[in-house]
Every structure is written in C-alpha cells, then in structure tokens.
Structure 1
Amino acid sequence: MKFKGAIFDLDGTLIDSMAVWENIGEEFLKSKGKIPPKNLSDTLKTMSFQESSKYFIDEFNLDLSVDEIIYEFNRMVEDKYRYEIGLKEGVVYYLRKLKSKNIKMCIVTATDKALSEIVLTRLKVLDFFEFILTSGETGIPKDNPEIYLQASEILGYSPNEIIVYEDALHCIKAAKEANFYVIGVEDESAREDRKEIKKISDGYIGSFEEINFK
C-alpha cells in the first residue's frame, strides 16, 4: 500500500448509525411544538450541526442558542451511541491491517467528539486512531475541503499520501476537491447518491471485507 495515512468518516462509514439521525430534525421540531416541513431531511442533509441549529432558530423562531440545540441533539441520541450502535462489517479486521502496515489513522466527523469517543471506546477501536477532528471544534463543515486538509496537516502527510473513506456524497466531493484519494463506502442513507458517488470516487466498497491486502 502506497499510502502513509488514512482519514475515516465515522457515521455511515465505520459505524452503522445513520438511521439514528434520519428523523432527528423532525423529532426535535415536534418536541418544540413546530410542524416539520416535508423536505426537512433534504434541507439538512449537507448541513453541519451548527448550520442546522441556526436554520432551526431562524426558520422556526426558536428562543434557543446554537449550542443549546446541539446539546439537545446529542442528548437525543446519546443512549444509542452508548449502548446500541455497532461497527460496520469488516472494520476491525481492516483497521488491524492498516495498523500492521504502520499507516497512521484519524477520524474526521460532524458528530460531537464526546459521542464519538463514547461509541468508539465501547466498540474497542478508539486506540487505532491518532485523533478525532470534528466540525464542532474546527467550525468547518464536512462539505468544506479545509477540514480534510487540517487533518492531513495533523497527521503529518500531504493529501497525495492519504486515503479518505467516506459514505456521503458532499463529503466525498470535498475530499476530492482537496486532492485526496477517496474510497466511497456504501451506506443505505446514501442510496440515492450511489451512482454519482461511484462516478467521482477513486474506488467504492460495499464493506471493508472487500478490500484485499498484498
């Protein structure tokens, strides 16, 4: 393998968690006595938590801060991360193989860092990664190439020495724009984008079990 580093997305790539977030916007608005618009999922699809929180405040006249809304989002899903969400197929085997080849790994995610650490610790894979970089701490959404460039800088390698694993189209586009080699990872949440993901990614896998090592 010619790569020295690997950047992994978390939700939908390493862990099978996207269903947890699928209706969270609707549930949140209903809890505030608001009627969710029919196209809410499409509206929120590429937003960071900061952006979606601001959207809720502006569009639904909520008397809450961005941080308060993010806190509520995290509280709504915490038990799922703490007790239920599992790894996708072949993840542990693949991470062990990368580690055996001295490839430095990290995670770039929109999910709260504490939630990320909770689920990865329970699943006994946290120690594979050098660090977790989140949109919340950087202020950079995952459709912005800069967050991947920041991760590469911390890893200590240039983009052409790093392989990125992502399931979402907008994230794959951002990583490609930053000149990374990108593997698209199949997830049911991205089924409508599958054709375009396969077109723009450098490779595409249904699971990590499909990747062969020499």
Structure 2
Amino acid sequence: MHHFKGAIFDMDGTLLDSMPVWDRLSERYLSRFGIRVAERDYVAIEGMTQMQAAQYFIDAYPALPMDAQTLAQGLDELIDARYEALARPRDGVLHLLDALRERGIGMAVATLTARRHAEKALRAHGMLDYFRFLLTIEDVGVSKRQPDIYLHAAGRLGLTPTECIVFEDAPYACTTAQRAGFTVCGMAEPAYAAGVCETRRASTFFVEHSFDELWGKML
C-alpha cells in the first residue's frame, strides 16, 4: 500500500461492527410514545444529523409531547446504551491500523455519527489514538451523497483524493468517494446487502468478512 499516503475510514459498519446500534433506533424510542415509524421516515432521515432527524420527527408527528431538543436527548441516551452493549471492532481492524501506522499512513475518520458518540465508541475499543482527527456530518453539514466530508478529510491530511483510500460500507458513500477521485475499499455489511453490487462496482478492494483479507492485496 506504499502509494497511498492517507486512509479515511467510515466508522459504523467499517471500523466498528455497530450497525445494530442503529437498527430501528427511532422506532424503538418513539414507540414509547405510541408512534409507529414508517419506512419513508427512515429514507427521509438517512444522512441527517441527530438534531435534524429529531426535528423531522417533531414535524412529522405533531402528537409527540416534546420539542426537538428533548427528543434528540432521548435518542442520544439510547444510542449511548446501544453502543456500549452492541458495538465491536470489525475483525482484523486493529491489525490493519497497526500496519498503516507503521507505514506512516495518515489516518482520519469520516462519520455520520455525532462526535461525542464516535469518540467514545472508538476510545472504548482502543482505536481513537490511531487517527489524526475525526470529521462528522456536523462538521461539514451535508450527507455522504456529496463528497465534502472526504474532500475535507483529505485536505486536513494535506493530501489530494488520488493519494487517499476511503474505507466504506454504505453503497452510495462508496460511489460518492469513487466519483470524487478516491480509491475505495468497500465492506460487506448486512444492513446494505441490497446494494452490495454498487459497493463492489465503486471499490478497488473489497472486504467480505475481515480486514485480514487485504493482506497480499493492498498490504
């Protein structure tokens, strides 16, 4: 991997096996108030910040007995509990991070997850110190359907897109990064099984189960 100078990692589903944290999260919380979350709601909030998603639900379900700030705080507490109970490092990830650090590769995280949760989750698994910085959707203001978060990360690493590899599990995010000029390593993720063909199309490298699969290919 000597020709890459930088590596930009998604967190949920990539660094951490943590997609179950988010599985029907809004539904689990809002069901306490008699709200049945529809599939269209999950489509609508894809890529939103927690606060944006909370405001969406307040607007969509006027019967909710709270404001957006209170709803966001309630979701926040549930996210905390679920990260602690469910999130685990992806297989082989520490092995990969050690190898990249030994090679002097600059590493960053680009995540849709709020900074507080991302830092806490990575720190809990001894991973935070591998990265020069974390960028979140809160920092850039747009979802990964636009390349801003990757471009900002590359810029902060002092690199161009062609000098960086992006590790991602979301099909649309893989496509975004690839179109912006990054080399992509896609990850198989059950939550995105329906889009795995798109992930493979956008990816130069692909991980089925473990980062150890990259030995002899990328490394």
Q: Same fold (TM over 0.5)?
A: yes
SS at match of 2:16: coil
Task: Identify which of 130, 154, 159 aligns with 1:157.
Answer: 159
TM-score normalised by the chain length of structure 1:
0.91
Q: Cα distance, 1:48 vs. partner?
A: 4.2
User: What is the number of residues matched between the two proteins?
Assistant: 213
Q: What is the aligned partner in structure 2 of residue 94 from structure 1?
A: 96
Q: Is the 8 A contact 2:172 2:199 kept in 1?
A: no
CA distance in 1, matches of 2:144, 2:74: 21
Q: Cα distance, 1:38 vs. partner?
A: 4.5
C-alpha RMSD of the superposition = 1.9
Matched, 1:81 2:83: yes
Matched, 1:15 2:34: no
- Runs of at least 5 residues in structure 2 that lack an aligned partner in the other structure: none
CA distance in 2, matches of 1:158, 1:71: 37
CA distance in 2, matches of 1:69, 1:105: 34
- Runs of at least 5 residues in structure 1 that lack an aligned partner in the other structure: none
Letter in 2 for 1:20: V
The more displaced of 199-208 and 127-136 is 199-208
Q: What is the aligned partner in structure 2 of residue 144 from structure 1?
A: 146
Letter in 2 for 1:152: A
CA distance in 1, matches of 2:175, 2:48: 14
Q: Is the 8 A contact 1:53 1:69 kept in 2?
A: yes
The more displaced of 157-166 and 69-78 is 69-78
CA distance in 1, matches of 2:129, 2:97: 10
1:180/1:38 CA distance change after superposition, 3 Å = closer
Q: Is the 8 A contact 1:167 1:190 kept in 2?
A: yes
Q: Is the 8 A contact 1:26 1:40 kept in 2?
A: no
Matched, 1:209 2:197: no
1:42/1:77 CA distance change after superposition, 3 Å = same
Q: What is the aligned partner in structure 1 of residue 56 from structure 2?
A: 55
Letter in 1 for 2:197: K
Letter in 2 for 1:7: I
SS at match of 1:58: helix
CA distance in 1, matches of 2:138, 2:126: 24
Q: Is the 8 A contact 2:18 2:86 kept in 1?
A: no
Q: What is the aligned partner in structure 1 of residue 132 from structure 2?
A: 130
